[in-house]
Amino acid sequence: MGDLSNTIEIKAPVPKVWETIRDFHDMSWAPGVITDVKKVGNKNGSEIGAQRILNDAFHETLIKLDSKGHTFS
């Protein structure tokens, strides 16, 4: 599997950004990009191991969660 990296600058306070994106199952902050999110399994969006399928194509698992952001594969 390859690696993907992307960097952007968000002009907002870190606590506000983190509050917006913290729930792994909530992609409402990306309208028009993410059109469908399916929760997989019984873990909630703030638990390591939470899984989702984005746009019926991208299968992701939350592998790390901290105040700096999500890490998933």
pTM for the model: 0.72
Binning pLDDT at 50, 70 and 90, where does residue 15 land?
Answer: confident
Specify the residue for token string 């509050």.
19
The structural domains of the chain, with segments of one domain joined by +, span 14-72
What is the pLDDT of the chain when averaged over all its residues? Answer: 87
Fold of 14-72: Alpha-D-Glucose-1,6-Bisphosphate; Chain A, domain 4 (3.30.530)
Per-residue pLDDT tens digits for 20-49: 888 999 999 999 999 999 999 999 998 999
Written as one string, the DSSP assignment of 45-60 is TTSTT-EEEETTTEEE
Binning pLDDT at 50, 70 and 90, where does residue 67 land?
Answer: low
pLDDT at residue 22 in the model: 87
Burial class (CB in 10 A: 0-12, 13-18, 19+), 52: buried
